[in-house]
Amino acid sequence: MASLNFRAIVFDFDGVIIESVGIKKQSYRQLFEEEFSGHLGKILAYQESRGGVTRRRQFEEIYESILREEPGPGRVDALEKRYVGLMFERVVSASLVPGAFDFLEKFHQRIDLFVASTTPEDELNHIVRERGLASFFKDVYGAPMRKAEALGLIARRVGCAPGEIVFIGDYPTDREAAESAGVPFIARLGSTDEMENCPEKVRDLTELAALLERMAG
């Protein structure tokens, strides 16, 4: 297959492998609507614009930029714990993105596949294992490692130039990480309208193999 001209394929997880973006948005609303209802609109707009940023950094920025107060001791930790409680089991049982399983099953023995996500790494590995996907990936990278850092590490691990791997993400921050690392980027559409202007894009992973072939050709 022409897609093997890439040495590795790196996937974001939420919104690229698993249809969890809506679940996380809903959990975000539940987390903030009771205590911070007066700021809820601004908080949700912020969250929409900062997809791909670690949740801990999002919570810190909400306090800094919207609530304009210092979080009390342990407050960010408590928000993280409650957020995980709201969304974790629903994410574990969420649908896979159409074409994801078939693509991973078909290509994992032909090309190195990785995950780079802002989900905390222990939590991410748990979800990947629970969904029966762990055997498809050479490795899974999550927070606190930044995505651009993970992409550079993957290129070094595979032993190739950054331009020989490709990253698939669903938010502008994913595109920025790829550009920072010098890695070609493919947008998975659907999480935000901002990705419609990406040159290389797919509606879901049923279209991925054909796009990789065109990119390699």
Per residue in 99-158, pLDDT (tens digit) is 999 999 999 999 999 999 999 999 999 999 999 999 999 999 999 999 999 999 999 999
In sequence order, the β-bridge partners of residue 203 are none
Per residue in 18-60, pLDDT (tens digit) is 999 999 889 989 999 978 889 999 999 988 888 778 899 999 9
Q: CA-to-CA distance for 117 and 133, rounded, in angstroms?
A: 15
Would you say how long the chain is, in residues? 217
Full-model pTM: 0.90
